[in-house]
Structure 1
Amino acid sequence: MPLTRIHNFSISLDGFATGEPQSAEAPFGHAGQRLHQWMMATRYWAADGTTGVDDAFAERHTPGIGAEIMGANKFGPPGWHDDPDWKGWWGPNPPFHTPTFVLTHHARPPLEMEGGTTFHFLEATPAEALATAREAAGDQDVRIGGGPTVVRDFLAAGLVDHMHLVQVPIVLGRGVRLWDGLEAVEQAFDVEAVSSPSAVTHLTFTRKAP
């Protein structure tokens, strides 16, 4: 059966997955790109990047994915709903190349982009959104792309089969935390940790068999 997966999702030592305040000039708030520097240094991200542990984990992001689900705050900064010309952060050819479902309270017609990405705007529960995305993905997996509120909601609903988190050795102090309200969520998963020379720790959560 196809899986629901999360990949390359970075959090700080104190559990924040983004800083504040988010804006068009600062998509991750005061965190900047500090949570993602480990990935941006890899060959997965750039042709002259590094190989090794970080690259091996980063590469798992794409294979086998047939659809993506993301939250409104990943698609755009506060107020993007009021801009009919806003088409996301990624330019005319977004990196998803699949049907991509944006969870939002503001309906909008589907937005077809270059490279096979079509954004669909849904007001739905996690279970409803996942059912829609699975239908679009066919026999491939669905990726939950973030941000932290969406990942938290899917974890709370018990809908995540595989999660790759990257703990980055920085303290943000404020922003949006991943773990709030998820006490003992780890008990549903087999958890493995791999340390990297870049000082990040890769944590994989694989749902236990029933």
Structure 2
Amino acid sequence: MSLRLGDTAPDFVQESSEGEIKFHQWLGDQWGVLFSHPADFTPVCTTELGLTASLKDEFAKRNVKAIAVSVDPVDSHHRWIEDINETQNTRVNFPILADADRKVAELYDMIHPNANATLTVRSLFIIDPAKKVRLIITYPASTGRNFDEILRVIDSLQLTDNHKVATPGNWKSGDDVVIVPSLQDEAEIRERFPKGYKAVKPYLRLTPDPRKN
């Protein structure tokens, strides 16, 4: 069965480049980015994992842990990590799951036979501290992921979890946000958004990012 937004992210125990991972325990009370790559020693994946390593501080600021997965064994991951570090001028600082038995791939529906019957597709899941799936994106094997977009979505999710707002199209952190239509009490609106709002339409009310001073 396919995972859907709001589902509990399946728990699992699997070997990795950093030893055995008990997924929910490993996540703890943090957000998680779980992403699959088709295979070790492939060009697009090498750049993606190098980029993920370079963004460690950005993930840490958002209380996020990253973890990768493919169907390659642990020894392959260790050899490939050397290449990633060398070619991407970084140090891989997150675990890569060794899903040789495809346990994780099947739990997260990462094997798409019409794309490839044996390798994982390029999927990514954002998982919140309650272990709920908040984002699912699947890319074609030939297209590397935009990790600026992943960080943008995390910013949006964390903002909307703490304030009764949504983020408009092409929103970036710090831009104006939208007051959710379900919030109609003017006293609460004034309390939550002391800078006020602009009502373009009754259902479209823009207000400054409530995190800004």
TM range (shorter): under 0.3
TM-score between the two structures when normalised by the length of structure 1:
0.25
Structure with greater strand share of residues: 1
Higher relative contact order (CA 8 A, sep 6+): 1
Q: Which has the larger radius of gyration?
A: 2
